[in-house]
């Protein structure tokens, strides 16, 4: 049979070709398995933070490097790892898919869909750990980020690029403030990332439902690492969420990121550290817990043109116990951030929502970004409320009060009532300004709670029907001129008179 010429040519080519380069692959083995961690041997060249492949789609992160062993944090269920199993190096650090295609999706800490939809194709990968922009790549915080909450926007203003801590005991409304702030970004161009760390599934579903009902689903990425998942996923979740926020901000966009909450994140890190026998420090937390949160929150800020020109505003949440602000993790985060919104259980018991304690809350940089008209109205807000609370304490003793003291008590009660706001109802800035000005000028004095709420709604309706003059005043940054103050007060008086709440103030 004659030989095929093509086959001979192919054979000659194969024989004359250089031999393939040998491919080296390091393979180790599992020595010990714990709850969310594994001890691996045989990978002498592995690097810190490198991802290891345990097979079956399970990955781990090199956490501890020792001469004869590696401490590895597992990013998945421990049950699939057994002693003696092979472990391979990947040569990569943990990276997550990023990009605008993730907006409107619910993903886990590794960027995998959790909402039942297909994973977006061809998304770029970004390491979850990156160096924070330097000082020369940053710009001053000079633009307000409206939360839609009167108590915050008036007295504890937040600026774009700020890191403002939300702190308080359980069930004081911390998540509600964060969700309402996300909802208030509708039609503002601000993109949002909500990172739920160690939360129950029903709590995350409730938050996702609120975001969807509020019309912000298409502008928000939800990153979730539930309390039923591996602690390693809770540990990497905020870094993954920050990487997604950085990718959005790189296009000169403004991004709001919420970490709910960093108490659970600290607990996950402590759990992993103790399992890997790292030396415990204060309250059994490892010594680098401050750095764990500092290097995360330092990546937020207002960036200059050389760093993309966008901004990342961070609202980390932390939980206190029995109002103990001096606990380890709260004090760490207070020192890292640019201020805190403190929610008091005492105000919750008085049915004051949002329960923002203006005596303890502070914004160290947001005041420079606050609109001048807002500053002119809310400048005496803290003093008015603090004096009212002192007088209220004395009035409880039943002492006889003079007319001036009674007027100050009535004014303080009206101002406190004006700061009340229902959940999931963020308020536009012009309506906030009119309501607060009316309360500070005494138009709501003497009204009971129900009448005060009806009066404020009447003022809001009047502002909505009066055109854009107040909104333009706030946007322009101009101070509140006497004619502007008179116009708003006349509008409020007319609205109150039409609603049957006329006043001679």
Q: Is 168 known to sit in a ligand binding site?
A: yes
Q: Is 174 known to sit in a ligand binding site?
A: yes
Q: Is 171 known to sit in a ligand binding site?
A: yes
For residue 261, whether the previous peptide bond is cis, meaning omega lies within 30 degrees of 0, is yes
Q: Residue 316: left (phi > 0), alpha (psi -120 to 50), or beta?
A: beta
Q: Where are the beta strands (DSSP E) in 156-232?
A: 165-168, 191-197, 220-225
Strand, coil or helix: 457: helix
Helix (H), strand (E) at residue 256:
strand 254-260
Encoded tokens for 123: 């998304």
Taking a C-beta distance cutoff of 8 angstroms, is the pair 332, 289 a contact? yes
Contacts of 459 (CB under 8 A, 6+ apart): 431, 434, 435, 438, 491, 492, 495, 496
What gap in Å lies between CA 335 and CA 103, rounded to an integer?
32
Instruction: Examine the residue annotation and report whether 364 is marked as an active-site residue of this protein.
Output: yes
Q: What does residue 44 show for φ and ψ, rounded to 5 degrees?
A: -70, -25
SS3 content of the chain, % helix, strand, coil (to 5): 40, 20, 40
Helix (H), strand (E) at residue 314:
strand 311-319
Instruction: Single out the catalytic residue among 88, 143, 295, 364.
Output: 364
What gap in Å lies between CA 102 and CA 487, rounded to an integer?
45
What gap in Å lies between CA 446 and CA 414, rounded to an integer?
7
Chain centre distance of CA 314: 5
Q: Which of 155, 145, 126 has the alpha carbon at shortest distance from 189?
A: 145
Q: Is 170 known to sit in a ligand binding site?
A: yes
What gap in Å lies between CA 53 and CA 427, rounded to an integer?
49
What gap in Å lies between CA 168 and CA 392, rounded to an integer?
24
What gap in Å lies between CA 98 and CA 60, rounded to an integer?
20
Q: Which of 311, 320, 360 has the alpha carbon at shortest distance from 340?
A: 360
Taking a C-beta distance cutoff of 8 angstroms, is the pair 81, 33 a contact? yes
Taking a C-beta distance cutoff of 8 angstroms, is the pair 33, 79 a contact? no
Encoded tokens for 89: 């190096």
Contacts of 136 (CB under 8 A, 6+ apart): 304, 306
- Residues carrying an active site annotation: 364
Known binding-site residues equal 168-175
Known binding-site residues for ATP equal 168-175
């Amino acid at each position: 049979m004659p030989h095929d010429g093509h086959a001979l040519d192919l054979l000659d080519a194969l024989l004359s070709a250089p031999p393939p380069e040998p491919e080296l692959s390091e393979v180790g083995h599992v020595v010990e398995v714990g709850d969310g961690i594994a001890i691996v041997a045989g990978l002498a060249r592995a690097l810190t933070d490198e991802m290891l492949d345990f097979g079956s789609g399970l990955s781990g992160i090199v956490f501890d490097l020792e001469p004869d062993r590696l401490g590895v944090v597992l990013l998945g269920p421990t049950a699939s790892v057994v002693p003696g199993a092979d472990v391979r190096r990947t040569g990569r650090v943990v990276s997550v898919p990023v990009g605008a295609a993730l907006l409107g999706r619910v993903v886990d800490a590794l960027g995998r869909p959790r909402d039942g939809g297909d994973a977006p194709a061809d998304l770029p990968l970004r390491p979850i750990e990156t160096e924070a922009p330097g000082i020369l790549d940053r710009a001053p915080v000079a633009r307000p980020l409206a939360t839609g909450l009167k108590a915050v926007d008036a007295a504890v203003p937040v600026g774009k690029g700020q890191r403002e801590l939300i702190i308080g005991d359980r069930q004081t409304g911390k998540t509600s403030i964060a969700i309402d702030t996300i909802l208030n970004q509708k039609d503002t161009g601000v993109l949002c990332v909500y990172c739920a760390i160690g939360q129950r599934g029903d709590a995350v579903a409730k938050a996702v439902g609120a975001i969807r009902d509020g019309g912000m689903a298409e502008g928000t990425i939800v990153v979730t690492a539930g309390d039923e998942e591996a602690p390693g996923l809770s540990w990497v979740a905020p870094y993954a969420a920050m990487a997604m926020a950085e990718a959005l901000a790189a296009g000169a966009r403004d991004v709001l990121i919420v970490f709910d909450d960093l108490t659970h994140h600290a607990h996950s890190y402590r759990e992993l550290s103790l399992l890997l026998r790292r030396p415990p420090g204060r309250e059994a937390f490892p010594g680098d817990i401050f750095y764990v949160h500092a290097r995360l929150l330092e990546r937020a800020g207002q960036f200059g043109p050389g760093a993309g020109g966008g901004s990342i505003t961070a609202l980390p949440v932390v939980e206190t116990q029995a109002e103990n602000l001096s606990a380890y993790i709260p004090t760490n985060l207070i020192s890292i951030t640019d201020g805190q919104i403190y929610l008091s259980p005492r105000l919750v018991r008085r049915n004051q929502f949002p329960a923002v304690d203006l005596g303890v809350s502070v914004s160290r940089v947001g005041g420079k970004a606050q609109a001048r008209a807002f500053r002119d109205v809310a400048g005496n807000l803290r003093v008015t409320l603090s004096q009212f609370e002192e007088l209220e304490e004395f009035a409880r003793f039943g002492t006889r009060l003079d007319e001036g003291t009674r007027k100050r008590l009535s004014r303080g009660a009206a101002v406190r009532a004006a700061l009340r706001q229902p959940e999931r109802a963020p308020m536009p800035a012009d309506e906030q300004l009119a309501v607060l000005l009316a309360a500070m000028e005494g138009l709501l004095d003497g009204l009971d709670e129900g009448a005060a709420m009806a009066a404020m709604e009447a003022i809001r309706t009047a502002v909505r029907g009066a055109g854009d003059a107040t909104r333009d005043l706030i946007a322009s940054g101009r101070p509140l001129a006497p004619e502007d103050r008179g116009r708003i007060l006349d509008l409020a008086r007319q609205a109150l008179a039409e609603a049957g709440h006329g006043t001679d103030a």
